[in-house]
């Protein structure tokens, strides 16, 4: 029983990445190697399946450790760690992230699964927490916008090599440049 559900969810991720919400339930069922009726028994509508898939991905990939990183005492180290973590995750899931951004721009995502809104909220919460712990007054909304720009540039603008494939040295150089641009906002 659980295996079929997992099979459908994995297939749905693949198909939704390729076609977005416009993917048909028949295409998903074929990818999952199940009858379409089985898909509807598990998820009564395509919308329910889409929401379940996106929520699972967002919980597993995007929300997991950001608050733990916020407890870092040193702000420069915090920025480096949060950027490294997010850039690794985003660059490993670039097709999915592009699909989520596209669906968001089309207005196909409810607030509970609206990727840009969720990412912004999690970043803001983590930054607020970090600066509260460090007793610093910072315009965290501006910092979030700067971070979002950095992250979005790695999704939208082509790079010779995805971030997660860069050498540790190349990552360190890049992260330090980004970190310095963020630290300017704190002055």
> What tens digit of pLDDT does each residue of 124-173 get?
999 999 999 999 999 999 999 999 999 999 999 988 999 999 999 999 99
Q: Domain range for residue 6? A: 2-54
CATH of the domain at 40: 1.10.10.60
**Co-location of 144 and 87 in the same domain:** yes
**Which helix (H) or strand (E) is 25 found in, with range?**
helix 25-32
Return the minimum-mean-pLDDT range out of 3-12, 50-59, 160-169. Answer: 50-59
Verify that 97 and 169 share a domain, yes or no. yes
Query: Are 70 and 126 spatial neighbours (Cβ–Cβ below 8 Å)?
Result: yes
| Same domain, yes or no: 84 and 40 | no
Angle at 124 between CA 121 and CA 126, to 5 degrees: 110
In a shared domain, residues 49 and 73: no
Same domain, 151 and 67: yes
Task: Render pLDDT for 10-40 as a digit per residue (tens, 0 to 9).
Answer: 999 999 888 888 899 999 999 999 999 999 9
**How many structural domains is the chain composed of?**
2
Of the residues 35, 54, 73, the one at which a domain ends: 54
**In which band, very low, low, confident or very high, does the pLDDT at 57 lie, cut at 50, 70 and 90?**
confident
171 and 80 inside one domain: yes
- Spatial distance between the Cα atoms of 81 and 73, rounded to a whole number of angstroms: 12
Residues 86 and 115 in one domain: yes
Same domain, 96 and 42: no
Using the Cα atoms of residue 120, residue 78, residue 90 and residue 55 in order, give the sign of their dihedral.
negative
**Cα four-point dihedral sign 36, 39, 44, 47:** negative
CB 150 within 8 A of CB 178: yes
Residues 71 and 27 in one domain: no
Residues 45 and 70 in one domain: no
Q: Please tell me whether residues 163 and 93 are part of one structural domain.
A: yes
């Amino acid at each position: 029983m659980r295996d079929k559900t997992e099979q459908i969810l994995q297939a749905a991720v693949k198909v939704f990445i390729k076609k977005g919400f416009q993917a048909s339930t028949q295409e998903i069922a074929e990818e999952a190697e199940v009858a379409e009726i089985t898909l509807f028994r598990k998820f009564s509508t395509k919308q329910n399946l889409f929401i379940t898939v996106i929520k699972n991905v967002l919980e597993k990939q995007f929300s997991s450790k950001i608050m733990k990183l916020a407890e870092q005492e040193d702000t420069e180290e915090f920025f480096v760690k949060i950027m490294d973590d997010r850039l690794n995750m985003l660059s490993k899931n670039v097709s999915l992230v592009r699909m989520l951004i596209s669906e968001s721009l089309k207005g196909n995502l409810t607030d509970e699964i609206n990727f840009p809104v969720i990412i912004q909220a999690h970043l803001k919460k983590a930054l607020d927490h970090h600066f509260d712990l460090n007793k610093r007054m910072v315009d965290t909304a501006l910092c979030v916008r700067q971070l979002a720009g950095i992250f979005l540039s790695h999704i939208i603008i082509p790079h010779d090599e995805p971030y997660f494939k860069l050498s540790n040295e190349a990552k360190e150089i890049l992260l330090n440049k980004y970190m310095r641009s963020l630290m300017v906002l704190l002055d």
